[in-house]
Structure 1
Amino acid sequence: MGQSADRDAKWTSAWYGNKRWVYALLPLEGLFRVVAYLRRAFIVLWRQVNVGVPVIVVGNISVGGTGKTPLIIALVNRLQARGLKVGVISRGYGSAAPQYPYVVSESSSAREAGDEPLSIWRATGCAVCIDADRVAAARILKSAGCDVLLSDDGLQHYRLGRTLEIAVIDAERGFGNGHCLPVGPLREPRARLLSVDFVVVNQTSLEGDTTFPRHYYNMRLEPKHWFRVKDLSRLPLEHLSQGSHVHAVAGIGNPDRFFATLSKLGLVSECHIYRDHHTFTRDNFQFRQSLPVVMTSKDAVKCQSFAEPEWLALEVDAVLEKRFWPKFEHELDTLFPYE
């Protein structure tokens, strides 16, 4: 584990392990809350921009991965099934594009586009535009003829006006100690969830929880198939037999969820953890023991150029509880009524 991953792990352990030393930062949390509130109020009242097409924001209120990318892919597929031209807006964390806004294309590399935007483009074929200024990206996609836009991780980017808001929660991690930064992992207080249209809870079961409000919906990430990192060719889940020992590499927000999925597939993993959006090199794969290498599809886009033929990535589907889609379709009907 690298130094940056060690730092991330220290803070994560404090926030989710209820370490007492973080409470010395309570005055800073108070300042953070005040600044966040004033910033939101000012932008919404005076700076928010309506780009002229429906915008669906998919984000979270906590630091770290919650499963947004598979959900965005599922939403894009649903919208495309209605015959809509969909565009996805991304900040492109870690990208180094030649210019911004940057539209992802077949020639884009993970270095130029970033891991999540490239993963979304490969999975859906929809238009994906990257810019820290999400309004600029939205305008590019609108000019390209998109009927509806999805904003990846844009819940706190209030300058971009939005039609619907979807917040994603990792049920395993929850809200940690419940505090905002820097004392806890929250970007905004939990009360923010009262104002969004949908709250999607990423967990292992689709069983309803009666303690959840009505606008909470369960989601499960279900293994779909393997694919070779080198050439993207698909392989069935049975390609690796139960009991196989593997090197499991993860540079995502919650690597433990990936490792748990591998365990459910019957694999025995030697786990290698890197910080979210880590830029992989061939040196990261110099392992002492010769075992199959597996990773997430998000990490695979950064390793394709130097991958060995036997390296595999796991593709997952976001499976939502049945009552989510009728509600989502109802919202779409108000935006795009069928002829």
Structure 2
Amino acid sequence: MIEKLWFQRSLIAWLCFPVLYPLSRLYKWISVKRKNDFLSGKKVSYRSPVPVVIVGNITAGGNGKTPVVIWLAETLKAKGYKPGIISRGYGGKSEHYPLRVSDGVQPAECGDEPKLIAVRTGLPVIVAPKRTDAARELLQYDVDIIISDDGLQHYALTRDIELIVVDGKRRFGNGHFIPLGPMRESLERLDSVDFIINNGAEKSREMSMTLCPERAVNLVTGETEDVASLSSVIAFAGIGHPPRFFMTLKGLNTDIVETVSFSDHQVFTEADLAPFLAHDGDVVMTEKDAVKCRQFAKDNWWYLPVSAKFSTTDEAKIIHKIEEVIKQYGP
């Protein structure tokens, strides 16, 4: 229903407009007021002693932020820096915060995306409902740069560089604020960020980024296979925009017999996964879903990792900007 309401012309959108429009205007007013309170000094922002890079968006839903966070963290690590990541930990519930995402911490505690980032990068990842708390905690791990997974609207944390990720296909939907539309901030916000990253398309003034699939990885054995070699595949996804994942699989000539969509950040139970447990063919899921499904996995279950890819020129621009800021902070 959200997809039809926010991104399609539909009867649902027409029927919901009178009810949701006032709520949308209220959301916008609160969003603008909160931002202005921090920018005017009425509310105090925390400035970290090391640079902070925000990877966020101005819309709700999956735009491809997490792969960009992973790419940025791994690129900086390869250049000799010591990045760490902070996140709100959406979907996770822990008895205490801030929480470091260690091997023993489950996605139900920290959230699926922070768990994925920690597994992929091997870097310190801290989650907390308030990113300022996460940033303070992260400083204990000898980091020299903080990457915030989302948090563009968390103005309680001062930032040095802002990267916005835009869905190249769906863009900004109907242009209305939540709950009538997907907007968290107005389009004018694009004029104040350092880089606009377009996921899946090309547009002037925006950096093109593609999500490149790798070989499928078996959840039980860790072996890898070309996804096209798998047979009678049921594919499922609990991400912001599942059709993107299914289209990726089809583009790789995957033998798909069925696709199943779950809500973003779905907390899986064995009952949810029962149809896949009984499937005789192969089951393929996203990497984000895989971190929540290992305890149920069978030897015919696979996940498809994807990695963010930029042109050499655009990659150099982003890294150069970050290095300039790091120099300003000094040794």
Shorter-chain TM-score above 0.5 = yes
Is 1:284 aligned to residue 272 of structure 2?
yes
Question: Could you tell me which residue of structure 1 aligns to residue 30 of structure 2?
Answer: 35
Among 13, 21, 26, the residue aligned to 2:4: 13
1:302-321 CA distance string (max 9 Å, x none): 00011112200001110113
**Contact 1:229–1:301 under 8 Å retained in 2:** no
**Contact 1:97–1:113 under 8 Å retained in 2:** yes
Looking at structure 1, the residues matched to 72 and 296 of structure 2 have their Cα atoms a distance apart, in angstroms, of: 31
Looking at structure 2, the residues matched to 105 and 202 of structure 1 have their Cα atoms a distance apart, in angstroms, of: 30
Shift, 1:289, TM fit:
5.1
**Contact 1:57–1:151 under 8 Å retained in 2:** yes
Question: Could you tell me which residue of structure 1 aligns to residue 229 of structure 2?
Answer: 241
Question: Could you tell me which residue of structure 2 aligns to residue 224 of structure 1?
Answer: 214
Write out aligned runs for 1:116-265 (5 A).
116-203=113-200, 208-209=202-203, 212-213=204-205, 216-231=206-221, 233-237=222-226, 240-241=228-229, 244-265=231-252
Looking at structure 2, the residues matched to 29 and 99 of structure 1 have their Cα atoms a distance apart, in angstroms, of: 33
**Contact 2:60–2:183 under 8 Å retained in 1:** yes
Q: RMSD of the TM alignment (CA)?
A: 1.8
Looking at structure 1, the residues matched to 16 and 168 of structure 2 have their Cα atoms a distance apart, in angstroms, of: 23
Q: Which amino acid aligns with 1:92?
A: G
Is 1:312 aligned to residue 299 of structure 2?
no
Looking at structure 2, the residues matched to 236 and 247 of structure 1 have their Cα atoms a distance apart, in angstroms, of: 16
Question: Could you tell me which residue of structure 1 aligns to residue 93 of structure 2?
Answer: 96
| 3-state secondary structure, aligned to 2:312 | coil
Structure 2 unaligned regions, length at least 5: none
Question: Could you tell me which residue of structure 2 aligns to residue 273 of structure 1?
Answer: 261
Write out aligned runs for 1:38-77 (5 A).
38-44=33-39, 45=41, 46-77=43-74
| 3-state secondary structure, aligned to 1:27 | helix
Q: Which amino acid aligns with 1:15?
A: W
Shift, 1:196, TM fit:
0.8
Please give the TM-score of this superposition, normalised by the length of structure 2.
0.92
Q: Which amino acid aligns with 1:328?
A: I
Q: Which amino acid aligns with 1:237?
A: D
Shift, 1:291, TM fit:
2.3
Please give the TM-score of this superposition, normalised by the length of structure 1.
0.90
Among 21, 24, 42, the residue aligned to 1:26: 21
Q: Which amino acid aligns with 1:16?
A: F
Among 279, 286, 290, the residue aligned to 1:296: 286
1:1-23 CA distance string (max 9 Å, x none): xxxxxxxxx12211111332233
Looking at structure 1, the residues matched to 99 and 21 of structure 2 have their Cα atoms a distance apart, in angstroms, of: 39
Structure 1 unaligned regions, length at least 5: 1-9
Q: Which amino acid aligns with 1:21?
A: L
**Contact 2:160–2:325 under 8 Å retained in 1:** no
1:249-300 CA distance string (max 9 Å, x none): 1100010000000001111431111100001122222227532111000000
Q: Which amino acid aligns with 2:318?
A: F
Looking at structure 2, the residues matched to 225 and 50 of structure 1 have their Cα atoms a distance apart, in angstroms, of: 41
Is 1:331 aligned to residue 325 of structure 2?
no
Among 80, 83, 88, the residue aligned to 1:83: 80
Compare 58-67 and 38-47 and name the one that shifted more.
Answer: 38-47
1:96-143 CA distance string (max 9 Å, x none): 223110001122222222211111011110100010111111011112
Looking at structure 1, the residues matched to 107 and 126 of structure 2 have their Cα atoms a distance apart, in angstroms, of: 14
| 3-state secondary structure, aligned to 2:163 | strand
Question: Could you tell me which residue of structure 2 aligns to residue 6 of structure 1?
Answer: none
Identity, % of aligned positions: 38
| 3-state secondary structure, aligned to 2:213 | strand
Shift, 1:60, TM fit:
0.9
Compare 79-88 and 124-133 and name the one that shifted more.
Answer: 79-88
Question: Could you tell me which residue of structure 1 aligns to residue 110 of structure 2?
Answer: 113
| 3-state secondary structure, aligned to 1:78 | helix
